[in-house]
Amino acid sequence: MADRNRDAALARAAEHLFSMGLGDAAAQMSARNMTYGLAKLHYVQQQLGGAPDATFIATPDLTVTRNEARWQAGVGYGGKLTWGDGGRPCVFVDVKPNCCGMLVGGLEEPPALRQVTGRLDAMLEDRAELQGVTIDWDIGTGNHFLDLMAVEPVDPTAQLPPYCFVLHFSGSELRAESPLGMGLYWDASAELRRRMRVFDTPWGPCRVLLDDDAAEYWEFFQVAERFARRRRLMAAERLFDDFSVIANLHHQGLVHPNAMLLGCQDTSGEGLVPVMLRESTPGYLFRPLPNLSDEVIDVLGWTARAERHGVVDQLRAANVIPHGAGYMLPGVSHVVEVHEVGERRYYEVQAVEGGVRIVVGTPRDPPRPDLRVPRPPRDPGQRRVPPGRDRRPPAAAVGPEGLTVYPLSRRSSTSLASAIRAEALFRASETSLESNEP
């Protein structure tokens, strides 16, 4: 593809990204990365004889993803990716759905933390089975957690218990082939790799299931989603004696064969929806409302662009709400430029202080200007590996300071609260449970 056509394709992809993000460095980086992902999807749609109408609707928690394969594929986090109305026989497996979700359980009495800790420790050592599949519990890995909270009603008419717990995790059992089906992750399942078609786009490979394979994958995803819901419930039953289920839903999976939730939740159904922020701030439970209306689309300034590209119906059917606040990049001001090296992308960002420019290869270990680690001298006999070959690209500071280290942190509730549009039913606070510890 000629450079002019390539640039035009990226510009078109950028016009198919509709963002409610906060605009900080993490949101900027995610949007830029998602532009490449949309360009790849548009390329494949055209190769298949369709219109290039794949669209990403970013929620207020738009942020980076720490899944490297997903990031390198051009996928951001915090939003809904659509490439049809559900009737197209095509699934883009680079999105890697895993059914990660949250279960909120209601409690009449708060349990002692020592008791819950003991049960959790025993559960993690237990090789439980569900539907003939051995469970590998993942609570405590990554950002997966168990929270205990006191409930403070915001709506006096809401009938909610005085305490609750939140379980947030996914599970890796169905990523590869299993007795239940073909597997969810293309890089974990030989069966998926056998069936998928790989399109060589100008921005790297794009992995797709078509026709009967796409239909079978959608059927298997529904099996996996039910499995994940039952898995969360099974964990709750092992941790707590008596509870009521308030919510149990995923935020990382397919809505239908042509739509993917990437760290957000579907508001088109019944029930309540949790939004969890930092561990030191309240969590919230919302009554979901359909969105987006024509009035909101117009207020956001999207109407003319959506009509020009024929994607108004995709915006009207967004029906999304964040599941959390997303990651932030402390000390980073904004994205300056994207450097393409082969099939990899390096993000040049500006530090808040000191005028330091930083080049980021992946958000898995992104740069932090205020935590400097001297670059070790290179062994003269060490082989230099070209970018994009067999190592993850590093985060490197421009200047004599050398490599940087950057732990991600979750955003606080203050910047996100004004962007969430839904009806809050309760606020939860962990500090209220301190007096219950024996």
Q: Summarize pLDDT for 117-172 with one digit per residue, the tens.
A: 999 999 988 889 999 999 999 887 777 889 998 998 888 888 899 999 999 988 89
Domain check: are 215 and 85 in the same one?
yes
Q: What string of DSSP letters covers 226-240?
A: HHHHHHHHHHHHHH-
324 falls within a domain? yes
Domain check: are 196 and 179 in the same one?
yes
83 falls within a domain? yes
Residue type, position 355, single letter? G
Domain check: are 18 and 93 in the same one?
yes
Residues 38 and 13 sit within 8 Å (Cβ to Cβ): yes
What pLDDT digit, counting tens, does each position of 224-251 carry?
Answer: 999 999 999 999 999 999 999 999 999 9
Contacts of 429 by beta carbon, 8 Å cutoff, 6+ apart = 149, 150, 152, 282
Which of 101-105, 270-274, 286-290, 405-409 is the least confident region?
405-409
Mean pLDDT of 402-423: 35
Extract the tokens encoding 225: 């989603």
- Averaged pLDDT score across all residues of the chain: 84
The DSSP element (H or E) to which 46 belongs, if any, is helix 25-47
Mean pLDDT of 14-22: 97
Range of 51's domain?
A: 3-99+171-328+412-436
Q: What pLDDT was estimated at residue 430?
A: 33
Count: domains in the chain: 2
What pLDDT digit, counting tens, does each position of 384-409 carry?
Answer: 333 333 333 333 333 223 223 333 44
pTM given for the model: 0.85
208 falls within a domain? yes
Domain check: are 224 and 288 in the same one?
yes
Domain check: are 89 and 233 in the same one?
yes
Domain check: are 402 and 422 in the same one?
no
